[in-house]
Chain A
């Protein structure tokens, strides 16, 4: 797939502090999740994507062009910043129209796009309200609205779901996925990992300014297969199951759930474990009520990789 955003040996430092440390990446159309804890360098990387910062070393290209001070390119980019900052005394409509008018649209086009985006983000009733009077969710929505009002090819969303209520959050997740399907390049950062998981399986995992892993989340899961894997099992007789499981060499430990009805097994070879489990349950006449893996989410992947 053609690369939309490309970084080569990219570094960014602020004085003595290295925020992004010699990373290379290729981001294509579709949704890409940027993951990592606070201070991992996600926001700095997003500012480099959007031309707010200049690389200290290496290079970053968007559609094959350098980004810093390349103003015409910015028409193709929409950015939703993490910070809750606004021109507080402006109304939502004034804010959106003002920012849209900087994209060179005719006034009628600005009005039409403002109207459309207010509707899309369910802000029509609040259009004449000052932003200072907006709720946290409304502020988050208008921040998203300004990022996509000019219909950019690349959307960079820094923690876009923070503060949204569940309904708007669900709609936004759907919207992000739809943009990805439309062929836009959407880069979303979050530290709430299940949110990212709901939007995409393509991730860029960051820690201490470096990319720990890049690609499909399942491929990344393969990288960690050598690490022990936790499997939560609720069944009719957890003690009996535990007794049978501890004899297998891949099972490292078994922990009982406080309610006594479930156990968590730590296995070194999860695939073999899953293959074996149905036969074991049948042989010993055990009823399986629930099986989940606490490791089957990005939080666990992250923890494994940074260990």
Chain B
């Protein structure tokens, strides 16, 4: 069989597993919770818009500033973290608890393919839930009769999409790995996300580079408080280096998760 044929078969298997994973992942209570977070962010956008429109407070701030604050705090450090944490840790555990993993593991496909398929489903579902929230927030904050600002910042919105996508890739791979490896993966993920990432990224010195947040902050196009703190305690990493690091980190985490899935035995309780 040719390499191209093998590749096509492999891709078909990845898609099929993604399709099966979406069935267990999307239709769960997690989705309701994530949607509530999204609605909360949209609520904040509406509130920001009302404050701007009706001058409820004297402090002058622009749509760009509100959008930047939402992106850096609510979206990147909250929504993206939660969505990747919940779905990433559930990638394998959900099928272990639901006892459907058997159907995948008795097929003539390598377990790394199973991991890739599941990861694809994770990226798909995270993008589906996060990107529309960002777009809607942008529309809520920017749409007005004078569309010049809307068009001017549209490029930044594109960069935001790219950064969020990279963040989803990296955090998704990390939480996917934790989910494939540990039994109490949600707890471990929460400790990492809001302990390690939340604290270490603001420490001076090299340790900041051991967080995903650091690389995301380094390519963040907005001037925001988190970035300002980071600037105070040290230099940002170069944008290209940050992107390359995030991509390589994703590949490494994904490869490790695949290896764990291949070697670990999953006991489905009778």
Contact = CB atoms under 8 A, between A and B. Distances in A.
Interface residues of B, number: 29
Given A101-B16, A102-B16, A87 B109 contact: no
B108 A89 contact: no
B23 A85 contact: no
Contacts of B265: 52-54
Interface in A31-78: 43, 50-54, 69, 71-75, 77-78
Contact of B102 (A71, A77, A85, A103): A85
Contacts of B59: none
Contacts, number: 70
Interface string B93-111: 0000011101111111111
Given A51-B105, A69-B262, A101-B12, A82 B267 contact: no
Task: Classify the interface of chain A: helix, strand, loop or mixed.
Answer: loop
Contacts of A53: 265
A99 interface: yes
A87 B108 contact: no
Contact of A75 (B23, B27, B108, B270): B108
Contacts of B98: 85
Given A85-B100, A89-B27, A98 B109 contact: no
B161 interface: no
A53 B102 CA distance: 11
Nearest to B103: A99
Nearest to A97: B16
A86 interface: yes
Contact of B108 (A43, A52, A86, A104): A104
Nearest to B99: A85
B260 interface: no
B24 interface: yes
A83 interface: yes
Contacts of B99: 81, 83, 85
B108 A74 contact: yes
Contacts of A79: 102, 106
Contacts of B105: 51-52
B106 A52 contact: yes
A201 B131 CA distance: 61
B129 interface: no
A14 interface: yes
Given A79-B102, A82-B270, A83-B99, A90 B262 contact: no
A283 to B, nearest CB: 56
Given A83-B270, A90-B23, A77 B106 contact: yes
B108 A71 contact: yes
Nearest to A15: B267
Interface in A116-172: 146
Contact of B111 (A69, A72, A104): A69
A129 to B, nearest CB: 15
B106 A51 contact: yes
Interface string B20-34: 100110010000000
B268 interface: yes
Interface string B73-103: 0000000000000000000000000111011
A102 B100 contact: no
A48 B37 CA distance: 44
5 contacts: A74-B107, A85-B98, A101-B13, A102-B17, A102-B104
Interface of A: 14, 43, 50-54, 69, 71-75, 77-79, 81-83, 85-90, 98-99, 101-104, 146
Given A74-B106, A99-B103, 13 more contacts: A52-B105, A52-B265, A71-B109, A79-B106, A83-B102, A85-B100, A87-B23, A90-B23, A98-B16, A102-B13, A102-B16, A103-B108, A146-B103
